[in-house]
Amino acid sequence: MQSALSLRLAQRIGPLPLKLAGAAALAVLLAMPALHLWTDPASSLHVSAYTLTLVGKILCYAIVALAMDLVWGYTGLLSLGHGLFFALGGYGMGMYLMRAIGHDGNYQSDLPDFMVFLDWKTLPWFWQGSEHLAWALCLAVGVPGLLALVFGWLAFRSRIKGVYFSIMTQALTYAAMLLFFRNETGFGGNNGFTDFKRILGYGIAEPATRATLFLLTVLLLVAALAAGFWLVHSKFGRILTAIRDAESRLMFCGYNPLYYKLFIWVASAMLCGLAGALYVPQVGIINPGEMSPANSIEIAIWVAVGGRGSLIGPVLGAGFINAAKSWFTVAFPEYWLFFLGGLFIATTLFLPRGLLGLLRRHKENA
Amino acid sequence: MQLFKPLLLLLLLYSGLVAASPLAELAHADPADRAGLITQWTVQADGPRRQAVAALEEGRLFSSTDGNHVLLQGADGKLSDVDSGQPVAGDAASLDALPVNNSVRSALEAFHAASDLADPERSKRLSAIQALQDSANPGLLPLLLARQPQEPDAQVKQALLVASARLQLASPDATQRLSAIHTLADSADPATQTLLAPLADSASESDARVRAAAAQALLDLKNSQWRYNMLGYAFSGISLGSVLLLAALGLAITYGLLGVINMAHGEMLMIGAYASYVVQNLFRSWWPGAFDAYLLAALPVAFIVTFVIGMALERLIIRHLYGRPLETLLATWGISLMLIQAVRMLFGAQNVEVANPSWLSGGWVITPALTLPYNRLAIIAFVAGVLLLTWLVLNKTRLGLFVRAVTQNRRMADSVGVPTGKVDMLAFGLGSGIAGLGGVALSQIGNVGPELGQGYIVDSFMVVVLGGVGQLAGTVTGAMGLGIVNKILEPSLGAVLGKILILGFIILFIQKRPQGLFALKGRVLD
């Protein structure tokens, strides 16, 4: 047993070249903010604000993909609503950023502009305290966590799984999207939140702010990878895998899958919320479109393309697809959906273990 | 009798005088009384009176420069004095025409409506009654009452009754007001509420009996309005439910059979709608005479196209993902993305216009408060037909037998020689074909665009979740239930909150019945 575990460990971390590649990638990521801040804009080493934002955005997506992998790749629950948790985290952060605009909005009011536009006189109760970043972060993590807890408890208790579970999560994010599209809900309706000015007193578009947010995102991703690594290789993680592969047998062995599923589901949602909270200040906008079912299902394909059931795979998948997306939508905007759709089909048909599986097979053959 | 003789003589003399020249009477009437005079004439219109009214209306009556005479402009443009009939020299352009103010104008309208009351054309009679009713002039009442016994058409007669009752509401006679209230209460027209309200009020109505009757009538009206509203909600609920049913029927079949959710199912609806668009255009350019029949031609076209696409999908993709339902979900989503983009590139990203054939426009007016549009009615009937056909296919054909067998126990069916692969393919084609038919129906009630199917995915999944799989009854109940509850919640909560409430309800519902309303009993465990 012990040897099998160490063997698995070695397999998971991968051979030396993979380790080196990982270290190199991390070094590049850590160097990027420094290159943005301290190099001459004309030099070839300079990292532009656009690139930094784009990579920061993709890193946030990678965190979401990692969170998705924990529930889908390891526990076998395909969520088609993870975009909802991500967007809720983003809205939590967005509330703080809207309040931080202060009097610099178009209407020079204490209230966010969209509320002035709706002719509201006071802040709604759920906006109370959102002027503090700490509380906003609590909301960004706590609200997705609470929603996941309630929904997960109801769903797992009645042992909803497989396709049914996926459909219910999709309906959940769809309903939330409709709700957030309404102006009366109190989150800016269609337009969501945008035109942020500052965070903790620092200008949101300043290079130093960008670099800090980028670094935080890298750190969160690394921390999430480390925590995920520890989790899936613990005894707990093995039970998660058992739930994925043979839930009934696990139950016959005397385990109750409910709390295992619930824990990983809520943790995943909270991680998504955190990623959303880092995403919004970097991208500068959050709107209900983030909750559309199409967005959530795209997260699943990042994971599938990268390789389910491995921690580094989803990160690669999110990076690969989003980089392809930013290139495609500029170069051939009409063909992006064909490419994405083809990727969905090709991955599921030919690459059940994703790109990482391809690498491993190659290694095994060699 | 003797006593009355002089009086009678006087009366005769007077009426003779008037009859001699209605024109003069109208011309010399005080401007404020003119409307009243016309109303008086409306009840007993004759030739000279009509001519006099026409002269006033057409602006051929002028006051002379000294103001003592009124001049009539004849057909030849010459002026003559209305009293003497003598020609008068002068130019009409330099004179002021007798004014036609608003009250005179509405009196004129009623005057014309009165002559239309006996028109042979039914719609003309109806609009004449409407005009008289709108004039709100109690003086016209005898006209309406006189027409009632002669009216052959029942509906027009009812309109006459209502119109006269409305005028009688202002009658000084309490019994007349009472009977008018009763007539109006029976009419169930929501517009009469505002008319009855003052009669129930002690400030404007002195007779207690009338007040009580009016209050009762208002209550009845409110009740009947509530009933009709509920009927209206139920109808739009059934209509929404039947649309959902068309979308969910094929989904339920393929889910029951293969255990996979086809995320590209919504796109089959979209392709069906585009098929009817293409057929419509072909008819428009090649066979415009039979344009109204295009919809009937679109049905088989849409079915065949989506049937073939569905079979191809099953053969090429879904078959290879057998046993991996979650991957199938993603692969079919990829298919739906590609289909959407393909349609966008072929037909453009904008919505295309699909016209209703003439026999589907308009509606069936049940009462003034409730109109059922023909296209909705046709869809309900169509869904019933599709449902019947599906039931026949599933229960009376060999294919249906196989489908049911594979749904219940795939391996056992395989063992006894059911060609499961072929059954999968045909059933997938059938499910897609039904969605294609649904697309034709949807093209008649909504926008047709590349994203048409996306709006129905979540709702039709909810139908499947609610109804369970493997039995048509479950899908029908799920669809109708969702549709009706949706429409009942909509007016009070708004569409979005209603939807969210329904979702919450479904999540709670599957706590109790995880397999849906109509679960197939089985002993299979993974």
Residue B518 φ/ψ region, left for φ over 0, alpha for ψ in the -120 to 50 degree band, beta for the rest: beta
Average pLDDT over residues B469-497: 83
Which of the two residues, A227 and B369, has the higher pLDDT score?
A: A227
According to the model, what pLDDT value does residue B19 have?
47
Minimum CA–CA partner of B262 in chain A: A163
**Beta pairing partners, B81:** B71
Q: Do A348 and B334 touch (CB under 8 A)?
A: yes
Which of the two residues, B122 and B479, has the higher pLDDT score?
A: B479
B268 to A213, B329, B336, B470, B479: CA distances (angstroms): 45, 16, 9, 21, 18
Is pLDDT of A346 > 70?
Answer: yes
According to the model, what pLDDT value does residue B2 have?
53
When mean pLDDT is compared across A75-89, A112-126, B102-116, the lowest value belongs to B102-116
Determine the length of chain A: 366
According to the model, what pLDDT value does residue A276 have?
95
Residues A281 and A196: their CA atoms lie apart, in Å, by 8
Q: Which pair of tokens denotes residue B509?
A: 């519902």
According to the model, what pLDDT value does residue B173 have?
75
Q: Do A172 and B261 touch (CB under 8 A)?
A: no
Minimum CA–CA partner of A352 in chain B: B327
Residues B465 and B477: their CA atoms lie apart, in Å, by 11
**Min Cα–Cα distance to chain B from A321, Å:** 14
Q: Which residue has the tokens 């392809």?
A: A324
Neighbours of A335 (CB within 10 A): 14
**Beta pairing partners, B364:** B372
**Min Cα–Cα distance to chain B from A274, Å:** 25
Q: Do A78 and B259 touch (CB under 8 A)?
A: no
Q: Do A159 and B511 touch (CB under 8 A)?
A: no
**Beta pairing partners, B365:** B371
Q: Do A344 and B337 touch (CB under 8 A)?
A: yes
Minimum CA–CA partner of A156 in chain B: B511
Please name which of B58, B63, B101 lies closest in space to residue B81, comparing C-alpha atoms.
Answer: B63
Which of the two residues, B96 and B432, has the higher pLDDT score?
A: B432
According to the model, what pLDDT value does residue A128 have?
87
Is pLDDT of A249 > 50?
Answer: yes
According to the model, what pLDDT value does residue A278 have?
95
pLDDT, tens digit, 9 for 90 and up, residues A10-69: 455 556 777 788 888 888 888 888 888 888 888 888 888 888 999 999 999 999 999 999
What percent of chain B shows pLDDT beyond 70? 89
Would strands B370-373 and B79-81 be described as parallel, antiparallel, or unpaired? unpaired
A363 to A108, A269, A354, B400: CA distances (angstroms): 62, 34, 14, 49
Specify the 3-state DSSP secondary structure of B62.
strand
Q: Where are the domains of chain B?
A: 5-102, 117-206, 227-512
Q: Do A349 and B338 touch (CB under 8 A)?
A: no
Which of the two residues, A270 and B455, has the higher pLDDT score?
A: A270
**Min Cα–Cα distance to chain A from B275, Å:** 22
Q: Which helix (H) or strand (E) holds B234?
A: helix B208-258
Q: Do B465 and A304 touch (CB under 8 A)?
A: no
pLDDT, tens digit, 9 for 90 and up, residues B49-67: 777 777 777 777 777 777 6
Q: Do A344 and B331 touch (CB under 8 A)?
A: yes
Q: Which pair of tokens denotes residue B95?
A: 């004179």
Average pLDDT over residues B471-483: 86
Minimum CA–CA partner of B465 in chain A: A164
Q: Do A178 and B496 touch (CB under 8 A)?
A: yes
According to the model, what pLDDT value does residue A15 have?
65
Is pLDDT of B15 > 60?
Answer: no
* Sign of the torsion angle spanned by Cα atoms A58, A63, A67, A70: positive
Is pLDDT of B523 > 60?
Answer: no
According to the model, what pLDDT value does residue A299 have?
93
The verdict on residue A341 lying in a domain is no
pLDDT, tens digit, 9 for 90 and up, residues A292-335: 998 999 999 899 998 888 888 899 999 999 999 989 888 888 88
Average pLDDT over residues A95-122: 84
Is pLDDT of B13 > 50?
Answer: no
Q: Do A348 and B335 touch (CB under 8 A)?
A: no
* Sign of the torsion angle spanned by Cα atoms B394, B397, B400, B405: positive
Give the HSE-up count for residue A148: Cα atoms under 13 Å, Cβ half-sphere: 32
Nearest to B338 among A246, A300, A342 (CB): A342
The verdict on residue A124 lying in a domain is yes
Is pLDDT of A258 > 50?
Answer: yes
According to the model, what pLDDT value does residue B322 have?
80
Within 8 A by CB and 6+ apart from B226, the residues are none
Residue B351 φ/ψ region, left for φ over 0, alpha for ψ in the -120 to 50 degree band, beta for the rest: beta
The verdict on residue A69 lying in a domain is yes
Burial profile B42-80: b = 16 or more Cβ within 10 angstroms, e = fewer: beebeebbeebbebbbeebbbbeeeeebbbbbeeeeebe
Nearest to B499 among A159, A160, A178 (CB): A178
Average pLDDT over residues B212-230: 80
pLDDT, tens digit, 9 for 90 and up, residues A54-80: 999 999 999 999 999 999 999 999 999
Q: Do A151 and B507 touch (CB under 8 A)?
A: yes
Q: Do B337 and A341 touch (CB under 8 A)?
A: yes
Question: What percent of chain B is helix, strand and coil (3-state, nearest 5)?
Answer: 75, 5, 25
* Sign of the torsion angle spanned by Cα atoms B422, B424, B425, B431: positive
Q: Do B334 and A344 touch (CB under 8 A)?
A: yes
**Contacts of residue B348 in chain A, CB cutoff 8 Å?**
none
Do the beta carbons of residue B460 and residue B482 sit within 8 Å?
no
According to the model, what pLDDT value does residue B516 have?
67
According to the model, what pLDDT value does residue B517 have?
64
The verdict on residue A135 lying in a domain is yes
Q: Do A160 and B260 touch (CB under 8 A)?
A: no
Rounded to the nearest 5 degrees, what angle is found at the Cα of B64, between the Cα atoms of B61 and B68?
110
Residue range of the domain that includes A83: 52-291
**Min Cα–Cα distance to chain A from B371, Å:** 30
Q: Which pair of tokens denotes residue A111?
A: 């209230």
Neighbours of B199 (CB within 10 A): 23
A-B contacts at Cβ under 8 angstroms: 125
With both helix axes pointing from N to C terminus, report the angle between A293-306 and A162-181 in degrees, rounded to the nearest 10.
Answer: 140
The verdict on residue A279 lying in a domain is yes
**Min Cα–Cα distance to chain B from A56, Å:** 27
Do the beta carbons of residue B140 and residue B110 sit within 8 Å?
yes
pLDDT, tens digit, 9 for 90 and up, residues A261-278: 999 999 999 999 999 999
**Contacts of residue B478 in chain A, CB cutoff 8 Å?**
none
Rg of chain B's alpha carbons, rounded to an integer?
A: 35
Q: In the structure, what pLDDT confidence band is assigned to residue B503 with cuts at 50, 70 and 90?
A: confident
Within 8 A by CB and 6+ apart from B306, the residues are B268, B271, B272, B275, B432, B433, B435, B436, B439
Is pLDDT of B367 > 90?
Answer: no
Interface with B, mutate which of A160, A163, A181 (most B CBs under 10 A):
A163
Q: Which pair of tokens denotes residue B407?
A: 């749904």
**Min Cα–Cα distance to chain B from A294, Å:** 9
pTM of the model: 0.76
Average pLDDT over residues B77-91: 75
Fold held by B227-512: ABC transporter involved in vitamin B12 uptake, BtuC (1.10.3470)
Q: Do A157 and B511 touch (CB under 8 A)?
A: yes
Residues B427 and B420: their CA atoms lie apart, in Å, by 10
| A118, amino acid identity | L
Average pLDDT value for chain A? 87
Residues B45 and B24: their CA atoms lie apart, in Å, by 16
According to the model, what pLDDT value does residue B311 have?
93
Q: Which pair of tokens denotes residue A104?
A: 């610099």
**Beta pairing partners, B67:** none
B386 to A139, B391, B472: CA distances (angstroms): 50, 8, 12
According to the model, what pLDDT value does residue A11 have?
55
Is pLDDT of B7 > 60?
Answer: no
The verdict on residue A175 lying in a domain is yes
According to the model, what pLDDT value does residue B116 have?
75
pLDDT, tens digit, 9 for 90 and up, residues B320-349: 888 788 888 889 999 999 999 999 999 988
Q: Do A344 and B506 touch (CB under 8 A)?
A: no
| B524, amino acid identity | V
**What are phi and psi for residue B372, nearest 5 degrees?**
-105, 115
Among A202-211, B12-21, B130-139, name the most confident range: A202-211
Which of the two residues, B84 and A188, has the higher pLDDT score?
A: A188
Q: Which residue has the tokens 């037998």?
A: B401
**Contacts of residue A348 in chain B, CB cutoff 8 Å?**
321, 324, 327-328, 330-331, 334
Average pLDDT over residues B136-159: 74
Please name which of B51, B180, B152, B25 lies closest in space to residue B111, comparing C-alpha atoms.
Answer: B51
Interface with A, mutate which of B507, B512, B513, B523 (most A CBs under 10 A):
B507
**Min Cα–Cα distance to chain B from A179, Å:** 6
When mean pLDDT is compared across B185-199, B290-304, B383-397, the lowest value belongs to B185-199
**Contacts of residue B511 in chain A, CB cutoff 8 Å?**
154, 157-158
Q: In the structure, what pLDDT confidence band is assigned to residue B17 with cuts at 50, 70 and 90?
A: very low
Nearest to B511 among A154, A166, A182 (CB): A154
Own/partner contacts of A134-140, CB < 8 Å, gap of 24 or more, are A135/A96, A136/A92, A136/A93, A136/A95, A136/A96, A136/A277, A137/A92, A137/A93, A137/A96, A137/A277, A138/A92, A139/A92, A139/A95, A140/A88, A140/A89, A140/A90, A140/A91, A140/A92, A140/A93, A140/A273, A140/A274, A140/A276, A140/A277
Do the beta carbons of residue B439 and residue B268 sit within 8 Å?
yes
Average pLDDT value for chain B? 80
Nearest to A170 among B328, B458, B497 (CB): B458
According to the model, what pLDDT value does residue A363 have?
63
Q: Do B510 and A164 touch (CB under 8 A)?
A: yes
Q: Do B326 and A337 touch (CB under 8 A)?
A: no
Average pLDDT over residues A137-149: 95
Is pLDDT of B218 > 60?
Answer: yes
Do the beta carbons of residue A273 and residue A92 sit within 8 Å?
yes
Q: Do B336 and A178 touch (CB under 8 A)?
A: no
Q: Which pair of tokens denotes residue B11?
A: 């009366």
**Contacts of residue B458 in chain A, CB cutoff 8 Å?**
170-171, 174, 293
Burial profile B81-96: b = 16 or more Cβ within 10 angstroms, e = fewer: bbeeeeeeeeeeeeee
B473 to B388, B459, B477: CA distances (angstroms): 12, 18, 6
**Contacts of residue A164 in chain B, CB cutoff 8 Å?**
465, 510, 514
**Min Cα–Cα distance to chain B from A40, Å:** 43
Is pLDDT of A89 > 80?
Answer: yes
